[in-house]
Amino acid sequence: MEAKIPKPRTYTPKHVNGKQSALFSITASDVVSREGGDLNPTKRWSCIFHDSSTEANMSISDKGLLQCWRHSVSHNGLQALVVLSGYMSCEEAGSPHRGGGASPSMMTGDDGAILHAWIYAKKYGYIPEDDPVPVRALHYIARKHGLYKPKNGELLPPPVYAKVLSILEEEY
């Protein structure tokens, strides 16, 4: 279930050369440009992830990170897409502000976060239709469906890869 349907805005999908997904080149500024908000670091606006009674609990930092002031966390582009996909909440995907706790983002090591961010990015035009599926997303599907337990960075064997692509097309 998605957190929020984005406002229709003009956005040119990211393209990268080579075989890596463009997902990893999405910045927080790209998300603000597509979803709404202000790219001026001195401005605050209503959060794009959840309701905002103050309409001033989100901003972009001078370092290019989305700041959620309600939860005291920041998000890069990938983390923001994970929240928008509905896979994780703002505070789960975000990195705590200094003094806001020692916990890293719950996204760390979560291949499902990569899959859901990639699906959201494709669905809403952040990346091109022919963008390659990230290896970690393929690993998530293989593990989730009990097909294979890949090691970090390992390419899937061809029969497993074919089955994973079939599952991706059918279920996601």
pLDDT at 18: 62
Domain ranges of the chain: 22-108
Q: Which two tokens stand for residue 100?
A: 């806001």
**Residue 29 Ramachandran class (φ > 0 left, ψ -120 to 50 alpha, else beta):** alpha
What is the pLDDT confidence band of residue 102, given thresholds at 50, 70 and 90? very low
pTM: 0.86
* Averaged pLDDT of the chain: 87
Lateral strand order in the sheet of 66-68: 58-60, 66-68, 73-75, 95-96
Above pLDDT 90, what percent of the chain? Answer: 68
In this predicted structure, which of 6-15, 38-47, 129-138, 155-164 has the lowest mean pLDDT?
6-15
Q: Are 138 and 161 in contact (CB under 8 A)?
A: yes
Exposed/middle/buried for 149, CB within 10 Å: 0-12, 13-18, 19+?
Answer: exposed
Please tell me the distance from the alpha carbon of residue 151 to that of residue 23, in angstroms, as a whole number.
22
Whether the per-residue pLDDT at 2 is higher than 60: the answer is no
Please tell me the distance from the alpha carbon of residue 163 to that of residue 147, in angstroms, as a whole number.
8
pLDDT at 39: 93
pLDDT at 1: 45
Whether the per-residue pLDDT at 76 is higher than 60: the answer is yes
